[in-house]
Amino acid sequence: MKNILVLAFIIQQITLNPFDNGGILCLILILILIKLLIYIPENKIIPEKGYFSKNDFVNLLRKYCKNSNVVYFLADMLEE
């Protein structure tokens, strides 16, 4: 959840000053954060959707560990 708040702050900074040095730095930080977050699109398998930190993603795996369909779905989300 903290990563999403940081991402929201960075996006706000870019919209305020997109072409100054801070805006360029924010773009670089966004690219780094996107690699740290795992995206789960809207789907019919689980109600959760959106960006998840690695810890949040592990918690989803633990929550659904007894449901093999969900585990396979989550594994697919890890593929690039």
> Does residue 55 share a domain with residue 26?
no
Closest-CA residue to 60 (of 51, 72, 48, 68): 48
Q: Are residues 21 and 6 in the same domain?
A: yes
Counting the structural domains of the chain, the total is 2
Residues 79 and 49 in one domain: yes
Could you read off the pLDDT of 17-58 as tens digits, one per residue?
655 555 666 666 666 666 678 889 999 999 999 888 888 888
DSSP bridge partners of 39: 51
- The domain in which residue 52 lies consists of 38-80
Lowest mean pLDDT among 46-50, 69-73, 75-79: 75-79
Angle between helices 54-63 and 68-78 (to 10 degrees): 160
Residue 51, classed as helix, strand or coil, is: strand
Does one domain contain both 51 and 63?
yes
Helix (H, G, I), strand (E, B) or coil at 46: coil
Q: Which residue has the higher pLDDT, 43 or 9?
A: 43
Task: Specify whether 48 is located in the same domain as 67.
Answer: yes
Q: What is the pLDDT of residue 38?
A: 85
The model's pTM:
0.60
